[in-house]
Structure formats: structure tokens, C-alpha cells
Amino acid sequence: MPISPETLTRHELNGLPVRVADAANPDLVGIAGRVVIETMNTLHVDTGATKARRAFGDGDGDEGADGSRVRQVPKRGTTFEFALREASGDEPSSARTGADELAGDEPARTDEAAGGRKAPGSASELPSDTAGVNAGQSGGCEGAVYVTVDGERLLSRPAHRTENAGDSKWR
Amino acid sequence: MPSIAEERIDRLHALAREAAAEREFDRAREYVRLARRIAERNRCGLPREFKRFTCDACDAYLRPGANTRVRLQPGHVVIRCLDCGETARYPYE
């Protein structure tokens, strides 16, 4: 199951370009870079990764210059914006928005999950809050899909997140 | 179709290799540990290449020439992790 806006909260976050869209701590807003370490409650963002920052239309700015390149951002109370490479063919256009389209392919995903080798119980996956498809922010990032995720959805041990992505209906 | 767990392991393998190439051996070690934990929770095993290029004892990602010694003996390959001294062997034809 390739990484997509629906599977992002269950998938590997390390290595993805990320930007802090909103945070309880205003100092953290705007941090852009690459996720290098994930812990249960935080993400470590390497702001020196210029390639990842360019995905958000950020040139070589001030962040990479100072000594501390890896910033630790709490997941709770933060809204992250991940940039996904649009390599898979199931999302031909980046103009894919709205809950109806997401809801439309939910049944298909559920069937796959049932027939797959050992899909973690993903039948109840809510459509992840995919808002930002803001293509054409700057050059060189046309093939990216921007996914906005509430950090609360990521609160889990990294190895457990494939199984429980904070979308249980029992809470 | 690979499951999410298998894809996460593949991604972590690539990340560990990349981190080791940049001499970030401790970061590579974290990726290896996470991949191993995912494999054990989802009971999906690890790719053979992953097993051959990681140290069973200290979870280091092994780069021959950088933190690994590779020697051939009759019938098997000997890989020694230079971080912890663990030796692993596997057969060859």
C-alpha cells in the first residue's frame, strides 16, 4: 500500500519533507525540513535538509545557517504539512480534494485490506484531513501532494503507528 | 501488494543506508531498530539484504570498508562489525 494521504498516518514519516503549519508554540511555526527521528510524542525535523525545504518553496534561508539543525517538534497541538511525491498512478491529478472523493475510494481500500497479506485493521480509517493541495507553490514541486495532518493523529510509538493511528472509534 | 509494514521496512532500509553513507551511524542504528521492531510486531520478516547489512548485536547498518570487515573463507563469508566486534557468517556457493 503506497504512501498516500489516506495511509500517511500509518506510514513511515522518517525522510518525508515536512513543514510546521501551526503549533501551540509560535516559535515552531514555519519550521521546514526533513523528518529524521520520530519518537512517541515528537518529530525531529532536520532544517538543514535543503532539498526537503525546497519542496515547500523555501530557499536557503536562515534556519540552515545556525548551529542547531535538528529541531524537535511536539506532535500534540501541532499541525504538520507533509509533502508526498506523487509517484503512484492512483492519483493522476493533484487537484484531488474534498471529502467526497476520499469517501469514494474508501470501500475499495477496505476490500484491499481484507484481501491483503496482513493488513492492519484499517477498515475504520477516517479520511485523513487532507486539505492542502496547493500545487505550483514554486518551481520543482509540481509532482508533490501536500497533506495536512493534525499532530494528535500521530501520537503513538513509531512502531505501533501502523496498527493504531489514533482513529479508533472507541474513544 | 506489500503491506504498510513491509513498505515501512523498505523505506527504513533505504534511510539507514543513506544515513550510514553520510556517516550518521547512530541515526542509521535508530532506523534499523525501528525496522526490526515493525517486522516483529507485524510478523513479516526482514529482507535478506537488510539482514546481511545490519549487525545482529548492535543494530548498526554495516558499510563494508567503513565499519565492517568482510572476509571470504572456504564456503562462507565472514562479516565483522567493527563497532561491537560481532561476527556473522553466511554461506556462499
The verdict on A163 touching B (C-beta cutoff 8 Å) is yes
CB contact under 8 A, A118 and B7: no
Query: What is the reported pLDDT for A150?
Result: 92
Q: Which of B4, B41, B42 sits opposite A1 (nearest CB)?
A: B4
How high is the pLDDT of residue A60?
54
CA distance B84 to B74: 25
Closest-CA distance, A125 to chain B, in angstroms, reads 14
**Of the candidates B11, B41, B43, which has its C-beta nearest A15's C-beta?**
B11
- Say what the pLDDT of residue A114 is: 38
Q: List all residues 6 or more positions away from A76 whose beta carbon is below 8 Å from its beta carbon.
A: A24, A41, A151, A152, A155
Q: What is the pLDDT of residue A127?
A: 43
Q: Which residue has the higher pLDDT, A78 or A122?
A: A78
**Ramachandran category for residue B45: left, alpha or beta (phi over 0 → left; psi -120 to 50 → alpha):** left
Task: Give the pLDDT confidence score for residue A88 in this predicted structure.
Answer: 46
Q: Which residue of A has its CA nearest to B11?
A: A12
pLDDT, position A56: 79
Provide the pLDDT for residue B59. 96
Q: How far is A42 from chain B (nearest CA, A)?
A: 15
pLDDT in tens, B51-93: 999 999 999 999 999 999 999 999 999 999 999 999 999 999 8
pLDDT tens-digit readout, B31-49: 999 999 999 999 999 999 9
* Structure confidence at residue A58 (pLDDT): 65
Asked if A1 lies within 8 A of B3 by C-beta distance, the reply is yes
Q: What is the pLDDT of residue A5?
A: 86
CB pairs under 8 A between A and B: 60
- Contact criterion met (CB < 8 Å) for B41 and A14: no
A171 has a chain B CB within 8 A of its CB: no
Per-residue pLDDT, averaged over A22-30, amounts to 93
* One-letter-per-residue 3-state SS of A41-110: CEEEEECCCHHHHHCCCCCCCCCCCCCCCEEEEECCCEEEEEEEECCCCCCCCCCCCCHHHHHHCHHHHH
Which of the four pLDDT bands, split at 50, 70 and 90, describes residue A133?
Answer: very low
Q: Does A142 touch chain B (CB under 8 A)?
A: no
**Chain segment A10-25, per-residue pLDDT in tens:** 999 999 999 999 999 9
Chain A contacts in chain B segment 5-34 (CB below 8 A): 5, 7-8, 11-12, 14-15, 27, 30-31, 34
3-state helix, strand, coil in chain B (%, to 5): 45, 20, 35
Between these two residues, A171 and A160, which has the higher pLDDT value?
A160
pLDDT tens per residue across span A47-85: 887 777 777 776 555 554 554 589 999 999 999 999 998
**In this complex, which of A1, A37, A112 lies closest to B7 when CB atoms are compared?**
A1
Does ipTM exceed 0.90? no
Please give the pLDDT value at position B27.
95
Q: How confident is the model at residue A26 (pLDDT cuts 50, 70, 90)?
A: very high
- Whether A12 sits inside 8 A of B7 (CB atoms) is yes
Mean pLDDT (chain A) is 70
Whether A4 and A90 have beta carbons less than 8 Å apart is answered as: yes
